[in-house]
Every structure is written in structure tokens, then in C-alpha cells.
Amino acid sequence: MYSALSVFLFSILVSQSHVSACSKHCDFPAIFNFGDGNSDTGAFAAWFFGQSPFFGQSYFNGSAGRVSDGRLLIDFIATELGLPFLHPYMDSLGANFSHGANFANVFSTIQLPTANVIPSTPPPRGLNPVNLDIQVVSQFSQFTNRSQTQGRAFEKFMPEPEDFVQALYTIDIGQIDLTQEFLNNRTDDEVRAIVPGLINRLTANIKILYSLGGRSFWIHNLGPNGCLPILLTLAPVPDDQLDSAGCAIRYNVLTQYFNTELKRGVDGLGTDFPLAAFTYVDIYSARYSLYQEPERYGFTHPLEACCGYGGRYNYGENSLCGSTITVNGTQFTVVPCENPSDYINYEGQTYTQAADEITFNKISTGQLSHPPNSLKTACPQFSFARVDDI
């Protein structure tokens, strides 16, 4: 049987394998994902409030645990690699982890929240106690051990020992950390001041994943927060502080500062661990291009939420997707728009399947990545040793 220690020792031996002289496609047997609602495939629904009937209708024909009308970026990534959709680690019903696991959770942050924690504070202002530290240190590190010990009784549902080294590790988190600062009316200097700490925590967790065997990392930066209906509604700026796409300039500038520091952190990881592959993926540019040229991509309502109600951006803190509200004495349920593919945003903070599919097509080639690895070449360019040879 394998323990977390044996997986770690295995990874060290593999990392000393000979380096290949030519670029090759990667054969990722599994994906381990960490993040927030942009990549949660059902953890929040299993952990807290259940599945809304209005999430998943464009692809899954009903609830699928995703805060979207359909597939997320992580779903498109899995399909591109020839793998099944990832089951959330927290889902107790029918989970199969043989091709990886998803630790992402809606409203999760990099830093551990100390106030406004769900479920005592409901969305959209509540924060998830399952932050990145817990996803990595508490959940994944335990999973590496238990899946290879107690989990052997369910062997066909568990990853192989070598999968922890050969897997792709995807990370998409930080949006909630920043948007909470904006919603709390922090100054530019106050927002900038927290960024180094966030990057240090994020890179520290990546180092832990490396110590547990991870060698291939696909790390998303943050999308243009200044275009989100939640911020444009709850923390509005004057119209003369909106750019040509209608997005809040200040919020996007501060988001780009975070992204610059994240890239610096990822570059540092590449220097510290030269036998691993760290791909920094420019989600910001991919997503912002949708707001710059919405007609080109078929979006007729680029700044409005598909599932919401009220105001300029079809969003309200008390009229969230699926909620029951009363307007002019009439009670009704807030339901999704008729054609989600007309919208970039789904419910105020996350994206529609149409937006995520276009974004995926932009990032998968490597043209928006540093180094310019495509999704299928985002592994270290050396040959993995077989577990039988070790």
C-alpha cells in the first residue's frame, strides 16, 4: 500500500528522470483542480445549499452543481485531454476519482476568511471557509494518502499512485479575495497592500502540491473583475470611470496588478523547481476580449447577468438567480434568460457556457500563456519513469 510519503518519494525519483530533447504531447491521466466558483463542479452544492434547478440547463438538462448554465473551463479542459468531467471531492454520491478530483468551491478565497463566513452570512457577500489552504493542506494531502490506503477497497474509483506525478494540476482562485475588497470600499493602496500576501499564500500552496508529487501546473490569472455585474451594481463607479467596453477601469487596473504579481510568483516557482512545468495562463486577456468585441462572439448583453433581476446590469443582491422576490405586489422566481449564449456572465460573478467555451479556445493553444505551452504540452519535457521500474 502507498502512503503520502511513498508518493512523495516516488515523485522525487521521477523528477530525476532524464530530460527529453524535444517537445512532446503530455499524456495526463488525471486532473486535480483547486479554485472557486469558476471551476466548482458541485462541492458547494454538496456542502451547503444544494443544487439550483437553474444551473446546468444548457448542457446537463438540469442541475449539475455548476454556477453556470452549462460547462465550465475545467470541463472543457477535461474533454480536451480525453478525461471525464471531474467529480467534486466533497460529493458523497457516485464520485469516481480515477481520473482526478476537484477541490474547488464556490466563494472560496486564497486567505482564510475570518468574518462573513457561510452559512452564517448568505451569498453573495458570504465567504467560504474552505479556502485554498484547506483545499490543499487538509483535503488534497489527505486524499493522496487515503486514496492509496483505505481507498484500495474501491480501487477502480481511485487514481493510481503514479497519477499524482503525471497529473495536470489546475488552479483558478483569487477573484473573491479581490472582489470582496472592492465591495468593502477599500482604497487602491489598501487593495495593493494585500496582494503580496495573497500571492505568497498561493505559491506556498503550489509548493505543497509539488512536495506531494505535482509536476505539471496550469495556473489561471484573474479575469476582468471590473466587468462583473456584482461590482458594477453593488460598488458602482461614475460613468466617466468606465472604459469603452463599459467596465470599471479602477477594478480592472487593480486586478491587473494582482495578475502581474502572480506572474512574478509563477516565474519564481519555475526558477526554484526547474524540473516541473508552471504555465501562467492569461485568462484576463481572453475574457476581456469578449467585452471588447461582444458582437463578434454573438453576445448581445455583455454586461448583464443572464440569471438575475433588476437595474442596469440585471443583478440585485436581493434578487439572485433562483430566489423568490416580490415586485409591485407580485411574487415570482428569478429565472435564467431565454438564451444564455447571448450573455457573458451567468449570475453576477461567474460565466456562461458560451463565454467559457470561447475563453477555453483562446487559452488552450498556449498563445496567451507564459511559457507558451498549449494545454497538451504543459508538462515537464522529460520522460516519466514507470512505477514498475521504481
Average pLDDT over residues 192-212: 98
Q: What is the mean pLDDT of the chain?
A: 91
17, pLDDT greater than 60: no
Q: What is the largest CA-CA distance in the chain?
A: 72
Residue 11 has pLDDT above 50, yes or no: no
- Domains of the chain and any CATH numbers: 4-16+26-298+355-389 (3.40.50)
Note the pLDDT of residue 360.
98
261-300 pLDDT per residue, tens: 999 999 999 999 999 999 999 999 999 999 999 999 999 9
pLDDT average, residue stretch 186-206 = 98
Which residues, in sequence order, are CB contacts of 226 under 8 Å at separation 6+? Answer: 232, 243, 247, 248, 249, 250, 251, 252, 255
pLDDT at 382: 61
- Could you tell me the pLDDT band of residue 103, with boundaries at 50, 70 and 90? very high
What's the pLDDT tens digit per position in 324-341? Answer: 999 999 999 999 999 999
> Region 37-56: what's the mean pLDDT?
89
- From residue 217, alpha-carbon distances to 137, 176, 232, 277, 385 in Å are 17, 21, 33, 6, 19
pLDDT computed for residue 279 by the predictor:
98
Helices in 155-282 by DSSP H: which ranges? Answer: 163-166, 175-183, 188-211, 229-234, 249-272
pLDDT, residue 21, reads 34
pLDDT at 180: 96
At residue 248 the predicted structure's pLDDT band, cuts being 50, 70 and 90, is very high
**How much is the average pLDDT of 354-371?**
98
pLDDT over 50 at 165, yes or no: yes
- CB 166 within 8 Å of CB 160: no
Q: Which cell numbers in the block locate residue 274?
A: 526547474
Confidence of residue 121 (pLDDT cuts 50, 70, 90): confident
Higher pLDDT, 250 or 385: 250
pLDDT value for 48: 87
Least confident of 92-101, 103-112, 131-140, 301-310: 92-101
Q: Where are the beta strands (DSSP E) in the chain?
A: 31-35, 100-102, 168-172, 216-220, 277-281, 301-305, 324-327, 330-333, 343-345, 369-370
Per-residue pLDDT, 92: 80
- Residue 5 confidence class, pLDDT cut points 50, 70, 90: very low
Q: What is the pTM of this model?
A: 0.92
pLDDT of 225: 98
**Most confidently modeled of 2-11, 89-98, 165-174?**
165-174
pLDDT band at residue 23 under the 50/70/90 scheme: low
Span 153-181, average pLDDT: 95
The pLDDT assigned to 149 comes to: 86
- Looking at per-residue pLDDT, the higher value among 124 and 93 belongs to 93
More confident residue, 202 or 1: 202
Cβ atoms of residues 309 and 316 within 8 Å:
yes
